[in-house]
Structure 1
Amino acid sequence: MADAGSPLMLDAPTRRGVLAAAATGLLPLLLQLPPTIGMTIAAAAVVVTALSWRKPLPAPLRLLLTLALLAIVLNLTGFSVGRDSGCALLAAMLAAKPSETFNLRDARSLLGFALFAPFATFLLDQGPVALALGLLAAIAVLLALLRLADLESGDIAYRPRIRDRLVAIGRLMAIGLPLALAAFWLFPRLGTPLWGVPERALSRPGLSDTMRPGEWVDLMSDDSPALRVQFFGDTPPTQQMYWRGPVLWNFDGREWTQPGWFRALPAAPMEPGDVRWDYRIELEATDQRQLVALDLPLAAPEGARLSLDHGLHVRRPLTSLSRWRIQSAPPRRYEPELRRTLRSAALALPDGFNPRTVALARQWRREAGNDDVAIVTRAMDWIRSDFAYTLGTPLLGRHSVDEFLFDEQAGFCEHFSSSFVVLMRAAGIPARVVTGYTGGYYNRFGDYWIVRRLDAHAWAEVWLEGRGWVRADPTAAVAPERIYDTIEDRAGVGGGLFGDAGGLSPMLDMTDWLRRGWNDFVLGFDASRQRQLFRPLGLGDMDGARLAALFSLVAALALLWMAWLSRKGEREPDPVLRAWRALGQRYVRLGLEPMPHETARDWAARVGRAQPHLAAELNALSEDFSDWRYAAPTPGHDAVRDLVRRLRAHRPTGPRPARNPGERR
């Protein structure tokens, strides 16, 4: 045993188990961090562990490695403060900790901090995979802590079966489960949080209020769902599913932006057509304040507001999954009277950019006179006949629209929409860029539509006399035979992960349907649904006071359950005494268990009289046990291990003896 006051050192198997448990705790967090940061921290953890595999690294080297890793992580996060940067720093510190983890105290410290990693993961993602990996990490850490307890008690030589360990951990989890469930279902939830979760330092892939031609390639290669939509009643044709997001007005020659002050203006007048679409959107977290809706939303849902250009905005960033019930309709006329200020904004072009485009537009205007429709039709016909769709367009220069229209004549939606709007404005037709998503994939299991991030799209709106704003999608005008290169072509999946996965399609549908169920059952359990929880029992809506009272009652019962199980599951810390008591329990089936008043030798003698074939081995064990418990000096660690092994190996056999009527039990 270690000297008093000196740290107890880990043996090699125990240290490997501690490191493996810490890695299991770190894994879910690394999977949620940006790939570059996650892979950097994982590689650093492997290097640190390899360098310190046999002995601790010198303190100066440990300090140097830790500072270097932290500096790299801070540089990758842009020295910003947010949820993801904080989680990345936690992961980096966990990756550096194995360099000094060689004694019991440091091992417990590492395992304690490793449990923070799965909890930090929930700041970035609350999906079922994150939960499953978090539970796996908790089990691994508890297994390692049990191993450390055996090391501290001197019982390290004996490794119980993994099933027994898991049963012990299951008992620990069962102790706290009722209280956890009561807190989830019954603890009163606030309709709005008292404080906000810190925003991310690194943006998520998704729509934004800016667009620079060529920068959407990463977004359009992301096959993860952006939103799920369930229609109530009629469903629009897929080719009419334009999901409206940020509307971009300002152009500086390179980048399109959304005027922030337009959000404060009331929505422009719109006369809806005869068709109505009623639907519910489940929007994945974006960390933005912009919603998307089917073109055009008739009104803002509760908690959102409708801006001048019919964009939907919320007050707080959408840091978690949200649901919105919306009605939309294709417009018959949309803002038929355009105010002078808005007309000027929809015609503005920066000076000194794209002279060839401006010259062509003015030529078309002279030839068409006042016929704006003829100019729009001429532009669409030109695109249909001469242009191609591809992702391989090189980065364009200062006169990006000129280069696209007259030199490249091939690109994707950003190039088409941007160039089309510039061409229209140069011809005197008010125009703007609209970004969002288009299309959708129908999930047959859940009867809903999935819109993916790679469905991101940009199109144009032009203002025509008497009709107002009219959608014009130049990208859609490209003939199918002139589409050369798409994200699906590059990925080799022929239609996307959901669109054309062959035999995998039903499995992927089922997987997403299960994820949607998780979103509905767990992530969507908010204050409103909590109040309605007991409606099926005829109790009506539960206010905060009634919920608090019910939670207090259930929590009290859960605490009594925890106390009872904890007392029932108390564990004798001494391995020899624990093994001796377990030995006595094996004699219960023979009716020869030890009595409270019997000494070890007396009990062994009684068993020997009843079962002579057990006498020799049990007498020897009782002698050694008595010497260990009462004799001096204290036996060495090897002798204790040998005694525990023999006590555990002893198995009584034989028939149950006849009971003496006069014997006291």
Structure 2
Amino acid sequence: MTNPFANLPRDSRDTLFLLAVIAWVLLPHAAHLPWWCSAMAAGMLLWRGWLAFTLRPLPGRWWLLAALVLTVGATWLTHRTLLGRDAGVTLIVVLLALKTLELRARRDAFVVFFLGFFTMLTNFFYSQSLPTAAAMLLGLMGLLTALVNSHMPAGRPSLWQSARMATRMTLLGAPIMVLLFLLFPRLSPLWGTPGDALSGRSGLSQRMQVGNIASLALDDSVALRLRFEDGTPPPLQGTLYFRGPVLSTFDGREWAPLQASFPPSMQPRADLQVRGAPLRYEVTLEPHNRPWLLMLDATAVAPELPGDLVARMSEELQWRASSPVNDLLRYRAQSHTEFRHGPQRMLASLQDYTSLPRGFNPRTLQWAMELSRETGNDPVALINRVLNHLRTGGYTYTLEPGEYGQHTADEFWFDRKLGFCEHLASAFVVVMRAAGIPARIVTGYQGGERNTVDNFWVVRQSDAHAWTEVWLAGQGWLRVDPTAAVSPGRIGSLQRLVAPRGAIATAVGTVVSPNLMQGVRALWEAVNNAWNQRVLNYTQSRQLNLLRALGFEAPSWEDLGYLLLGVLVTASLAGAAWTRWERRRQDPWQRLYERVRSRLLQAGLPLGAAVTPREMAQRLAQTHDPKDNRVQAIQAWLQRYEQRRYASRDGRNAAGDLAALRRELKELSWPK
């Protein structure tokens, strides 16, 4: 079967290759840009590819002008601006595709190359993950291959030959890349990507509707990673509660932060008291576009944050940063699993934690009053009574409890008896408040799993959890987790609920061992974590730590600049000295001759190491058509080389002759 691309002219072949590379670079943008932008770019690339394959002429300038006007208008209608990240990337993607439709001269190709390099970098505005970096590295190699190929105008060099040269150039430039990565000063806010790159990122919310955490539990992405310091024994999974937003106001359907009816001066204070040895650990928090700092419950000392970030704790023990977490954030903290907080005696402001909306859950309110009378208004006895009811009342912990109506607590306690953690927490708090006991909901994450490859604990979005706190006189706020009464395995041994698998996942599960899949997943997450820790989280503070390790007492970003400049100058001088030594070590005439010999070897000409130019010309005529213009041109060049190289002369014009031969060599076409 013949290859339809083998007989294409070189221009068509090179154009199709370049279009394929551009399509690869633009493909990740399809998930972020408007649908019309992706469709328009794909249509233009396919059109240009069809023109190259069928050897048809390119469209006129009026077509391109009309497409440009349409692009600018659509961008304005979509983004209401032509500036900014999204609008700018939309324009550059379509302009790159448009530029391929006027790819006539070498100058146009260079414009496409550098537009491609720029567009490739814009992918990192949306994701700096390891898969994105690997995909863009492949795109970089493709663009460099096309660029190298464009600098070989004579003959029909193979793309594989250009790819080898591009790879060699990349490897030679890798030390400079590493040097710039380590020493180029990271000056905030110039360094980094825009914060709005995280719009739409899932995670905990400031509000909780009954049922929304169940949907979050289907997300298996990483929320944070945790590493305990050496000498700190890892706690039991049942004690790993990462505190997030505290929700205290209920409108019958949705829980929200406290809307206090008392002035701030009368609000209950945190009054946090910790006991026992602290757990010291380091958190790598994934970006979530909110200021919450997720730490183990409870943390009395402010975490060590990088840069100018400042952490503050609310009276409800929730820690917040001074700005939203829009980039990967690493910080150190210490927490205590044994603690006590909140007022020890009843305050008027605690009434805010007993309020319930009117007209909701009448059966639950009646049941709570009956329980209160039966337990003699003893809060501890009432709590135990409700928890025991959850254990023995036939309640089921499930991700699919169905959609609840207006009276969510009534439906849970008396009708459905099905729910996820937020159903249990909400229904439990309603009972407590109806009995006159202050109670509130705490959202966050519970549990985690240790990656045996790198010993990091991984907390996922599927570990999102909601539990309750009740206030008792003389004890303050106490954690009560109703989920532990219905499903102890969720808290103690971290038995997650999973969504039903599709046909493909089921088929894969029957073929591939679950242990193998788990091992592969652990290895991938360890590699991805190493990328996050060593590359994405290589901040200015870590640069300064590197300078301290090199002997700088009080390093600054100016020291980084001076060190980088000194290393670059030293490397440049060393490279210049090596080049000069190499030229003196090897005759430039011999190097030029070896280039010709190498090209003829690739063309299939059997040549020894000691063959003369005249013998080379004769063998070329024996193995190829002597009437071929390319063969005659190479033979003429070899004759001129021999004459100028070995003629008896004083050598004063040797440099000029050598330069002329080099120019002539670039114009030669090589037979196959």
Give the alignment's TM-score, normalised by structure 2. Answer: 0.75
Aligned partner of 1:399 among 393, 401, 407: 407
1:175-324 equivalences under 5 Å are 176-190=173-187, 197-200=194-197, 202-232=199-229, 233-259=232-258, 268-302=270-304, 303-324=310-331
Q: Which residue of structure 2 lines up, in the alignment, with residue 142 of structure 1?
A: 144
- In structure 2, C-alpha distance between the alignment counterparts of 1:608 and 1:374, rounded to whole Å: 105
Equivalent residue letter for 1:249: S
Distance 1:193 1:244, change over 3 A: farther
- In structure 2, C-alpha distance between the alignment counterparts of 1:114 and 1:263, rounded to whole Å: 56
8 Å Cα contact 1:208-1:288 kept in structure 2: no
How many residues get paired?
595
- 1:463 maps onto 2:497 in alignment: no
Task: Name which of structure 1's ranges 45-54 and 136-145 shifts more when overlaid on structure 2.
Answer: 45-54
Q: Which residue of structure 1 lines up, in the alignment, with residue 368 of structure 2?
A: 361
Which secondary structure state, in structure 2, belongs to the residue aligned with residue 532 of structure 1? Answer: helix
Q: Which residue of structure 1 lines up, in the alignment, with residue 482 of structure 2?
A: 474
Deviation at 1:610?
13
- In structure 1, C-alpha distance between the alignment counterparts of 2:89 and 2:619, rounded to whole Å: 67
Deviation at 1:547?
2.6
Distance 1:143 1:196, change over 3 A: closer
Q: Which residue of structure 1 lines up, in the alignment, with residue 157 of structure 2?
A: 159
Task: Name which of structure 1's ranges 472-481 and 419-428 shifts more when overlaid on structure 2.
Answer: 472-481
Q: Which residue of structure 2 lines up, in the alignment, with residue 24 of structure 1?
A: 24
1:510-659 equivalences under 5 Å are 510-540=523-553, 542-558=555-571, 582-583=595-596, 589-590=609-610, 592=612, 604=614, 620-621=632-633, 644-646=668-670, 648=671
Distance 1:386 1:80, change over 3 A: farther
Deviation at 1:28?
4.2
- 1:382 maps onto 2:368 in alignment: no
1:394-433 equivalences under 5 Å are 394-433=402-441
- In structure 2, C-alpha distance between the alignment counterparts of 1:92 and 1:319, rounded to whole Å: 25
Distance 1:86 1:404, change over 3 A: farther
- In structure 1, C-alpha distance between the alignment counterparts of 2:48 and 2:624, rounded to whole Å: 52
Equivalent residue letter for 2:284: E
Which secondary structure state, in structure 2, belongs to the residue aligned with residue 589 of structure 1? Answer: coil
Deviation at 1:50?
4.2
Equivalent residue letter for 2:165: A
Equivalent residue letter for 1:346: Y
Q: Which residue of structure 2 lines up, in the alignment, with residue 486 of structure 1?
A: 497
- In structure 1, C-alpha distance between the alignment counterparts of 2:311 and 2:347, rounded to whole Å: 28
Deviation at 1:23?
1.5
Task: Name which of structure 1's ranges 355-364 and 297-306 shifts more when overlaid on structure 2.
Answer: 355-364
Distance 1:624 1:341, change over 3 A: farther
Distance 1:475 1:538, change over 3 A: same
Equivalent residue letter for 2:530: G
Equivalent residue letter for 2:596: L
Deviation at 1:132?
1.6
- In structure 2, C-alpha distance between the alignment counterparts of 1:349 and 1:81, rounded to whole Å: 48
Which secondary structure state, in structure 2, belongs to the residue aligned with residue 140 of structure 1? Answer: helix
Equivalent residue letter for 1:146: V
The C-alpha deviation readout for 1:254-297, integer Å capped at 9, x for no partner, is: 22223599999996112223353221111111121101111111
- 1:13 maps onto 2:24 in alignment: no
Deviation at 1:512?
1.8
- In structure 1, C-alpha distance between the alignment counterparts of 2:419 and 2:359, rounded to whole Å: 23
8 Å Cα contact 1:73-1:88 kept in structure 2: no
1:431-450 equivalences under 5 Å are 431-450=439-458
- In structure 1, C-alpha distance between the alignment counterparts of 2:485 and 2:36, rounded to whole Å: 44
CA RMSD in angstroms comes to: 4.7
Task: Name which of structure 1's ranges 406-415 and 43-52 shifts more when overlaid on structure 2.
Answer: 43-52
Which secondary structure state, in structure 2, belongs to the residue aligned with residue 26 of structure 1? Answer: helix
- 1:503 maps onto 2:516 in alignment: yes
Q: Which residue of structure 2 lines up, in the alignment, with residue 632 of structure 1?
A: none
Distance 1:368 1:143, change over 3 A: same
Q: Which residue of structure 1 lines up, in the alignment, with residue 50 of structure 2?
A: 54
Q: Which residue of structure 2 lines up, in the alignment, with residue 656 of structure 1?
A: none
Which secondary structure state, in structure 2, belongs to the residue aligned with residue 18 of structure 1? Answer: helix
The C-alpha deviation readout for 1:160-180, integer Å capped at 9, x for no partner, is: 351x31232234435644443
8 Å Cα contact 1:200-1:287 kept in structure 2: no
8 Å Cα contact 1:224-1:452 kept in structure 2: yes
- In structure 2, C-alpha distance between the alignment counterparts of 1:300 and 1:568, rounded to whole Å: 59
1:344-359 equivalences under 5 Å are 344-359=351-366
Give the alignment's TM-score, normalised by structure 1. Answer: 0.76
- In structure 2, C-alpha distance between the alignment counterparts of 1:263 and 1:510, rounded to whole Å: 50
8 Å Cα contact 2:195-2:327 kept in structure 1: no
8 Å Cα contact 2:248-2:258 kept in structure 1: yes
8 Å Cα contact 2:239-2:337 kept in structure 1: no
8 Å Cα contact 1:275-1:330 kept in structure 2: no
Distance 1:621 1:187, change over 3 A: closer
Distance 1:295 1:611, change over 3 A: closer
Deviation at 1:146?
3.4
- In structure 1, C-alpha distance between the alignment counterparts of 2:577 and 2:472, rounded to whole Å: 77
- 1:119 maps onto 2:132 in alignment: no
- In structure 1, C-alpha distance between the alignment counterparts of 2:544 and 2:489, rounded to whole Å: 56
The C-alpha deviation readout for 1:73-100, integer Å capped at 9, x for no partner, is: 769xxx99986x4587368636964883
Which secondary structure state, in structure 2, belongs to the residue aligned with residue 279 of structure 1? Answer: strand
- In structure 2, C-alpha distance between the alignment counterparts of 1:180 and 1:344, rounded to whole Å: 61
Q: Which residue of structure 2 lines up, in the alignment, with residue 637 of structure 1?
A: none
Distance 1:80 1:263, change over 3 A: farther
- In structure 1, C-alpha distance between the alignment counterparts of 2:581 and 2:362, rounded to whole Å: 85
Task: Name which of structure 1's ranges 416-425 and 63-72 shifts more when overlaid on structure 2.
Answer: 63-72
Deviation at 1:436?
0.9
8 Å Cα contact 1:246-1:311 kept in structure 2: yes
Distance 1:446 1:90, change over 3 A: farther
8 Å Cα contact 1:295-1:330 kept in structure 2: yes
- What percentage of residue pairs aligned between the two structures are identical? 31
- In structure 2, C-alpha distance between the alignment counterparts of 1:461 and 1:18, rounded to whole Å: 61
Deviation at 1:609?
10
Equivalent residue letter for 1:589: A
Deviation at 1:224?
1.9
- In structure 2, C-alpha distance between the alignment counterparts of 1:201 and 1:521, rounded to whole Å: 21
Equivalent residue letter for 1:460: T
The C-alpha deviation readout for 1:317-336, integer Å capped at 9, x for no partner, is: 21222112111112443214
Equivalent residue letter for 2:463: D
Distance 1:415 1:609, change over 3 A: closer
- In structure 2, C-alpha distance between the alignment counterparts of 1:291 and 1:550, rounded to whole Å: 35
Q: Which residue of structure 2 lines up, in the alignment, with residue 658 of structure 1?
A: none
Gapped regions of structure 2 (runs ≥ 5): 1-8, 52-57, 305-309, 583-590, 601-606, 642-663
- In structure 1, C-alpha distance between the alignment counterparts of 2:46 and 2:125, rounded to whole Å: 30
Equivalent residue letter for 2:556: D
8 Å Cα contact 2:268-2:347 kept in structure 1: no
Deviation at 1:45?
4.8
Gapped regions of structure 1 (runs ≥ 5): 1-8, 570-577, 594-603, 630-639, 650-665
Task: Name which of structure 1's ranges 93-102 and 280-289 shifts more when overlaid on structure 2.
Answer: 93-102
